Structure 1
Amino acid sequence: MAVHSKHPASAPPAPPVREKTGHLMLRGWCIFVMFMALSGTAWVHAFGEPIAAAITIAGGVLSVILWIVVRPPFQWRRLPWFVVAFVALATLSLLWSAWPQTTALTLLLLWITTIQALFVGSVLTWRELVRAAASALKWVMALSLLFEVWVAVFVQAPLLPGFVVGQADDPIEYWSRNNLFDGERLQGIMGNANLLAPVALLAIIVFGIRIALRAPRRTLLWGWIGLSAFLFFRASSATAYVAAAGVVVVLATVLLMRRARRPHERTKYYVAYAVVGIGGLAALFLLRDAIFTALGRSADLTGREEIWEAVLARAAERPWFGWGYATPWAPWDPAFDGWIIDHGQTVLQAHNMWVDIRMQLGIVGVVATALVYLAFVWRSWFFAVDRPRWDLRADRPYSPITLLPTLVGAIVLVQGLAESTPLLLWGWMFVVMLGAKIKQSPHVGEGPAEQTLAIERGEPTKQAP
């Protein structure tokens, strides 16, 4: 006769594990940190430079405090050492800088951005990181559209920084040009179409990865992709269009690489990738007149060649270690005030990160920067194409998350040919954050830094040895 046991073997039923309030707040802070980097100059346009600087510094200090309090699993021996070397070189340039005040101020921004990148990468798992990036990008895309709608419907006139309605000497000074309904270029909350377009491209990638991860409310994610595509198209940035083409080529090559069953089968794909890449760059150079005319741009990339000539001429005077770190250039510094004028405004960058570093840190700085990006591209490429494996099992599925770093690399490297923004704000933050995350957690969801997703579930985690 069966007897009901008062001591069942299974555990009593319990509610599902939920995220702790503290970790929810931590993730919310990481979303805000990413939003600050992605929105870029919006803070300066809205509140002015002193308040924007105060918010940036306070955010960096708070992240350091949280890092010390939370003490996430972090292997310090696996820091991105090329990034550390670049930051150290930039810091040492204070010793020979021709513009020490500008170097000190921009170094503070570099240090804060680097620390924020390492902080976010250390306290979030891979899945949380993508989720937080998606949330931050939603805020940027939504506020950019709402800002343009507000200007078009209520202000009904171009808007200057500081929410001032007035006439500018040149349209480049406007925060918003009130172009929503006339079909011209949109600038979003950044106040610059060339900054809005690559962020919109990044948003399309991140939202697409979220859909591939079968995230909840996928219909809404398709809506966010539609909004991002609209802003990308209306920003009409020639550099972003080229970056989008690069993203498509890299994505197609990665997916082909994943189909190879043996290492030697990848050789033909590498050859094809090299042919397409070199051929595309050659075609872009030889046919640049026709291509940029079709895109509504001049063949010299809207005067960038003149800027490069002036910057390289100054760089030749100090070839090895440069004139001192300065990203971005400070318009009030006598060394930059009125040096290069574009549309009546002092230019704040060389519009090419390699030319910019060549002047600031010389040949040594160019080598250091190249090593940073080479290491990032190398790690992110094999993070994407190699099947996750840490034991004898060789049939684990690929994760869509592994596509993010290599596609970000495609965006920033192309953008770096016509802009210096990959050296600061979201470009630098994402390169450092994703590169460090790959070193800390080479497998999504596994390893000491991931703790089998215990962090995002709110479970207690063990400290890394």
Structure 2
Amino acid sequence: MAVRSKHPVAAAPTAPVREKTAHLLLRAWCIVILFLSLSGVAWINAIGSIATGALIVATGVVSLILWLVMRPPVQWRRLPWFPVAYALWAGLSIAWSQWPGTSALTWALLLITAMQGFFVAAVLTWRELVRAIASALKWCLGLSLLFEFIVAAFIRQPLLPGFVIPDTPAADPIVYWCRGNLFNDGRIQGIYGSANPLAAVCLLAIIVFAIRLASRAPRRAFLIVWIVIAAFLMYRASSATIYLATLGVAVVLATVLLMRSAKRPGARTKWYVVFAVVGIGGALSIWLLRDRIFSALGRSSDLTGRETIWQSVLARTAQHPVVGNGFATPWIPTDPHFDGWIIDHGQTVMQAHNMWIDVSMQLGIVGVVLLGMLYLAYVWRAWFFAVDRPRWDLRDDRPYSAVTLLPTLVGALLLVQGLAESEPLLLWGWMFVVMLAFKIKQSPHVGMGRIEQRVAIERGELVPDAADEAQLDNRAHW
């Protein structure tokens, strides 16, 4: 019988480190949460608003229970305070709201979405977070492509919400959940029932998959395939807003990469000046040449009727300009104050198609200032999170991480989208701002900090001693 030597030349073989089943299940739950947020109104079209509301509340309760049981290490003094202040002001507006029932309902949805963002950021590391977002986006894109294919290939006619096949053509195609345009030259809508949200998710997917690719994630060939699928769906959705958002994201990405190439702090100044001039000049050019630009994109110069909507919303803003009329994100179409207020293609409009104008009507000047401070703080932290090398001691040559690009690129997407849509105020737009702002403040360095290190220790990748614990506390402080 073979006997192992008492004087081995190498360490005894050990089993590879494997994640605990509990952590695998936790990450799967986070993917479910992210998918629910990213899939947007698809659930309302599929199972109705009441069932969707019950699903949102149920998932929120589960996440809250998990939070109380797990108690992840959170530095409560380092919360993103502007999102908290905005949420508190939205809650206070119920007291003077013109539509208190709608305000209470939508505020509850706002809090649940914010809590889910905090939860996901608290229990996942930076790399796990990007991986979970990528998995949720694959489900959104895959189901959208499959849904469009089934409707176009088998049903062969438009489909109404609730999987209803109409007996007669609708008076306006806007009521259709899916128009079955995959095999023709029409715009597709995926599982969202609208081309604009589909295009926004596709652009987010390209960003996340590219970051995963740059991070040398496994199965890179499949990531390239998913990028192609996302680009195809975004092209077929044909959203002028997202085309402009793509340009904005590209400019921000180029700026970050140039800033990273600077050898000394002063070398960044010239790049800041160049891109400030380019940004301001580009914005003025788009505004002055908007007729030609939107005509080339197949849109009217008033952004497909949005200016008319803005005028109506601003007229209501003038009634209570300081504190607003009451929180309502989104507008509940069954509320008498919104039912039939603004009609587009025969349907009651559920948003102002501009998040700043929307907030001015709901929460007044105070709400606009809080939202502006929220995004200013978010962009400020996200920017330096992306352009500065990770440093908490004298060493200044640590490599950059592609993961740090995610917050600033998401911020660029949401800010441009918010000029023509109100989606950044709800669903994945609101959740991602809260989640990424919270994550940056809790873990300002990828792989460092108590949240990041705790998961590594649970996996068996780190075995801390007393000195390590002290070092973790110092890094968490930084």
Band of TM-score, shorter chain: over 0.9
Which of 299, 319, 324 matches 1:317?
319
Distance 1:284 1:186, change over 3 A: same
Give the aligned residue type for 1:351: H
Structure 1 contact 120–433 (Cα < 8 Å) conserved: yes
- Structure 1: how far apart are the matches of 2:141 and 2:370? 34
Superposed, which structure 2 residues align to 1:192-203 within 5 Å? 192-203=194-205
The Cα shift of 1:233 comes to 0.4
Going from structure 1 to structure 2, the CA distance change for 1:91 and 1:10 (only over 3 Å counts) comes to: farther
Code of the aligned partner of 2:249: V
The alignment's TM-score, normalised by the length of structure 1, stands at 0.97
Q: Is the Cα contact below 8 Å between 1:125 and 1:455 reproduced in 2? A: no
1:89 equivalent in structure 2: 89
Hey, what does 2:405 align to over in structure 1? Answer: 403
Partner of 2:350: 348
CA distance in 1, matches of 2:345, 2:62: 39
1:114-163 deviation per Cα after TM superposition (whole angstroms, max 9, x unaligned): 00000000000000000000000000000000000000011100000000
CA shift for structure 1 position 273 = 1.2
Aligned length: 462
Question: Distance between the aligned counterparts of 2:458 and 2:63, measured in 1?
Answer: 18
> Residue 365 in 1 paired to residue 367 in 2?
yes
Structure 1 residues 360 and 458: alpha-carbon distance in aligned structure 2, compared to 1, 3 A threshold:
farther
2:34 matched residue in structure 1: 34
The answer to whether 1:377 aligns with 2:379 is yes
Please give the alpha-carbon distance, in whole angstroms, between the structure 2 residues aligned to 1:457 and 1:405: 26
Which of 286, 290, 293 is equivalent to 1:288?
290
Q: Secondary structure at the match of 1:165?
A: coil
Deviations 1:332-361 (A, max 9, x none): 111101000000000000000000000000
**Which residue of 2 is the match for residue 421 of structure 1?**
423
Amino acid at match of 1:79: L
Give the drift of 1:9.
9.7
- Relative to structure 1, the CA distance from residue 186 to residue 23 in structure 2 (aligned partners, 3 Å threshold; closer, same or farther) is same
CA distance in 2: counterparts of 1:452 and 1:30, whole angstroms: 17
Q: CA deviation at 1:455?
A: 5.9
Q: Distance in 2 between matches of 1:457 and 1:307?
A: 53
CA positional deviation for 1:6: 3.1
Instruction: Tell me whether 1:64 sits opposite 2:60 in the alignment.
Output: no
Instruction: After TM superposition, give the deviation of residue 170 of structure 1 in Å.
Output: 1.0
- Describe the shift of the 1:456–1:145 C-alpha distance in structure 2 as closer, same or farther (beyond 3 A): farther
SS at match of 2:378: helix
- Matched with 2:52 is 52
Contact 1:67 1:119 in 2 (8 A): yes
Q: Read off the aligned partner of 1:238 and give its amino acid letter.
A: A
Q: 2: distance between equivalents of 1:59 and 1:453?
A: 23
2: distance between equivalents of 1:241 and 1:329?
A: 26
What is the one-letter code of the residue matched to 1:66? L
1:190-213 per-residue CA deviation (whole Å, 9 max, x = no partner) reads 111000001000101100111111
Identical-residue share of aligned pairs (%)? 67
**CA distance in structure 2 between the partners assigned to 1:336 and 1:210 by the alignment:** 42
CA distance change for structure 1 residues 137 and 409 in 2, over 3 Å: closer, same or farther? same
User: In 1, are the aligned partners of 2:331 and 2:338 still within 8 Å (CA)?
Assistant: yes
Q: CA RMSD in A?
A: 1.7
Unaligned runs of 5+ in 1: none
Q: Does 1:159 align with 2:159?
A: yes
Q: Is the 8 A contact 2:356 2:418 kept in 1?
A: yes
Does the 8 Å contact 1:125/1:456 carry over to 2?
no
Which whole-Å CA distance do the structure 2 matches of 1:424 and 1:241 have between them? 21
Is this contact kept in 2: 1:124–1:456, CA < 8 A?
no
SS at 1:159 equivalent: coil
Q: How does 1:91-130 map to 2 (within 5 A)?
A: 91-130=91-130
For residue 206 of structure 2, what is the aligned residue in structure 1? 204
- 1:273-317 C-alpha deviation (Å, 9 max, x unpaired): 111111111011100000000000000001000000010011011
Q: Look up the equivalent residue of 1:145 and give its one-letter code.
A: L
Q: 2:314 corresponds to which letter in structure 1?
A: L
The aligned amino acid for 1:144 is S
Output the CA distance in 2 between the equivalents of 1:69 and 1:181: 50
Residue 452 and residue 266 in structure 1: after superposition, are their counterparts in 2 closer, same or farther (change >3 A)?
A: farther
* Paired AA for residue 115 in structure 2: I
Q: Distance in 2 between matches of 1:293 and 1:145?
A: 28
Structure 2 gap ranges (5+) = none
1 CA distance for matches of 2:460 and 2:103?
Answer: 41
CA distance in 2, matches of 1:9, 1:408: 51
The answer to whether residue 139 in structure 2 is matched with residue 143 in structure 1 is no
Contact between 2:178 and 2:189, CA under 8 Å: does it hold in 1?
A: yes
Check whether the contact 2:159–2:179 (CA below 8 A) recurs between aligned residues: yes
* 1:271 counterpart residue number: 273
Contact 2:124-2:455 within 8 A present in 1 as well: no
CA distance in 1, matches of 2:147, 2:126: 31
Q: 2:232 aligns with which of 230, 233, 255?
A: 230
In the alignment, which residue of structure 2 is the partner of 1:132?
Answer: 132
After superposition, give the CA deviation of every residue in 1:65-99 in whole Å (9 maximum; x if it has no partner): 11111111211111111111000000001110000
Distance of 1:66 and 1:141 partners within structure 2:
28
Q: Which amino acid aligns with 2:184?
A: D
TM-score w.r.t. length of structure 2: 0.94
CA apart distance, 1:447: 1.5
> C-alpha distance in 1, partners of 2:309/2:336?
18
Q: Is the 8 A contact 1:124 1:455 kept in 2?
A: no
**Which residue is 2:302 aligned to?**
300
Q: 2: distance between equivalents of 1:303 and 1:247?
A: 25
The answer (yes or no) to whether the contact 1:128–1:456 under 8 Å persists in 2 is no
Q: Given residue 111 of structure 2, which amino acid in structure 1 is its aligned partner?
A: W
Post-superposition offset of 1:7: 6.9
Contact preservation (8 Å) 2:208, 2:406: yes
The residue that corresponds to 1:187 in the other structure is 189
SS in structure 1 at match of 2:451: coil
Measure, in 2, the Cα distance between the counterparts of 1:88 and 1:139: 33
Q: What letter matches 1:68 in structure 2?
A: L
Partners of 1:38 and 1:137 within 8 A in 2:
yes
| Alpha-carbon distance in structure 2 between the residues aligned to 1:455 and 1:86 | 36
SS of structure 1 residue aligned to 2:147: helix
Q: For the residues of structure 1 that align with 2:292 and 2:42, how far apart are their CA atoms?
A: 34
Aligned mates of 1:67, 1:455 — CA distance in 2 = 19
Q: Name the CA distance, whole Å, in 1 between partners of 2:203 and 2:39.
A: 14
Selected match of 2:333 from 310, 328, 331: 331
Preserved contact between residue 20 and residue 458 of structure 1 (Cα < 8 Å): no
Report if the CA contact (8 A) 1:211-1:221 is conserved. yes
